[in-house]
Chain A
Amino acid sequence: MADLKIELKQLIIDTLDLEDIEINDIQDDEALFIDGLGLDSIDALELGLAIKKTYNVKIDANSEETKQHFSSINALYAFVKQAKA
């Protein structure tokens, strides 16, 4: 299921207009927000919307769990895989 990780990285790049960043630049265990990739709160909203649309999953906007799901590609991967199952 490595494909889903690549798919998620591409979704992040496309959705957030990360012009100068390629799939290989995003590490699976790297933080997506603030440190690491350096995304911010508007990106979180935008990405949440894109994940919701693409994978038809429900995301609770204010929970601690959601924060956890969006912490890295690995976490996002686990979340989407589980939600789709």
Chain B
Amino acid sequence: MNVNIRHLNDWYAHCDELTIEQAILLGEDEITWPKLDFVPAMQRRRLSPFAKMALLVANNAVSEITKDLPIVFSSRHGDLPKTSKLLADLADKNALSPTAFGLSVHNAIPSLFSILTNNKQAINAISAGQDSFMMGLIDVYARLKSGIAEEVLFIYADQQLPKTYLGFQDEQQLSHAIAMVVSLPSEQKLAADEQQITFNFEYCRQSATTNSMPASLLFSQWYNSQQQETVLSSSNYKWFLSKHDTTV
């Protein structure tokens, strides 16, 4: 599978001053979440940290694009701080906050984004365990191959697990969001911030590790590096990634 990726934008906790590795080690006690100046105040007040980081990268990714793009959104856990609070309220037999409930669905983020940008294109929302990022990219590829769209906005976001769920963690935790514009390779020359990549996978059942970085962060690191190839492993798949050298 070959795709062109451009306008890749990422955000992670402490991204202003730390590398991804440093940020993972530091933890997330004091975080300055994105301000989101482009969102009107009356709408911004309802946005959770999860929504803020996802909407920030999405907006950055399409900042130079005037036409509406279809969106694939992927997240392993969605807005888990929000949903776990709702579950706790349910368990305590408290009434649920209508606002929190309304924004807790998995497609809330791309839906908010489409409302904010008046985008009427289709939205898919994906979750696939440790493979959520790469399966999201597969869905983007399927959408492009179907011929329905020439470009797709791909948004990925995951927040650090809430304390209640930290006992189940099977990879390193860092609140982060990534967005990019994806298209199929064409005759056209690549744009300045565009790269063509190939990705393939094989089914490969392996025992879970708890100390690896989420695939989304590894992908972003690889994309922004000089490294030509990489392999991402989950407990079910191996993903083989390589960049095309098009600077002929």
B115 to chain A, nearest CB (A): 12
Nearest B-chain residue to A49, judged by Cβ: B95
User: Are A19 and B41 neighbours in the complex by a CB distance under 8 Å?
Assistant: yes
Whether A46 lies near B97 (C-beta < 8 A) is yes
Closest to B96 in A: A49
Q: Is the CB of B97 within 8 A of A17?
A: no
A53 contacts B by Cβ under 8 Å:
yes
The residue of chain B having its C-beta at the shortest distance from the C-beta of A48 within the complex is: B98
Contact A42:B102 (CB < 8 A) given known A49-B95, A49-B97, A53-B95: yes
A 47-65 to B, binary, CB cutoff 8 A, 1 in contact else 0: 0010011000000000000
Q: How far is the CA of A48 from the CA of B168 in the complex (A)?
A: 37
Q: Does A22 contact B (CB under 8 A)?
A: no
Interface string of B97-124 (1 = CB under 8 A from A): 1110010000000000000000000000
The smallest beta-carbon distance between A14 and chain B, in angstroms, is 11
Interface residues in B24-75 by Cβ distance below 8 A to A read 41-42, 45-46
CA distance A71 to B46 in the complex (A): 22
B46 touches A17 (CB 8 A): yes
Complex CA gap A42/B95 in Å reads 15
Number of interface residues of B (CB under 8 A): 9
Q: Judging by beta carbons under 8 Å apart, are A17 and B45 in contact? A: yes
B41:A46 contact, CB within 8 angstroms: no
Min CB gap A70→B, angstroms: 14
Contact with B along A12-52 (1 / 0, CB 8 A): 00001111100000000000000000100011011001001
CA distance A42 to B42 in the complex (A): 12
Contact of A18 among B45, B98, B102 (CB under 8 A): B45
Residues of A within 8 A of B45 (CB): 16-19
Among B42, B46, B98, contact of A49 (Cβ-Cβ < 8 Å) = B98
Q: Assuming A17-B45, A19-B41, A20-B41, is B95 touching A46 (CB within 8 A)?
A: no
Contact partners of A53 in chain B: CB under 8 A: 95
> Out of A17, A19, A20, A45, which one reaches B98, CB within 8 Å?
A45
Tell me if A42 and B41 are in contact (CB < 8 A): no
B46 CB contacts on chain A under 8 angstroms: 17, 42
Complex Cα distance, B95 from A18, in Å, reads: 21
A38 touches B98 (CB 8 A): no
Bound Cα distance from A42 to B102, whole angstroms = 9
User: Nearest Cβ distance between residue B141 and chain A, in whole angstroms?
Assistant: 36
Chain B residue with the shortest CB-CB distance to A53: B95
Chain B residues within an 8 Å CB radius of A20:
41
16 contacts between A and B (CB under 8 A): A16-B45, A19-B45, A20-B41, A38-B42, A42-B46, A42-B98, A42-B102, A43-B99, A45-B98, A45-B99, A46-B97, A46-B99, A49-B95, A49-B98, A52-B95, A53-B95
Query: Which residues of A are interface residues toward B (Cβ below 8 A)?
Result: 16-20, 38, 42-43, 45-46, 49, 52-53
Top 5 nearest A-B pairs (CB, nearest first) are: A45-B98, A17-B45, A46-B99, A46-B98, A42-B99
Given contacts A20-B41, A49-B98, 10 further A-B contacts (CB under 8 A): A19-B41, A19-B45, A42-B99, A42-B102, A45-B98, A46-B97, A46-B98, A49-B97, A52-B95, A53-B95
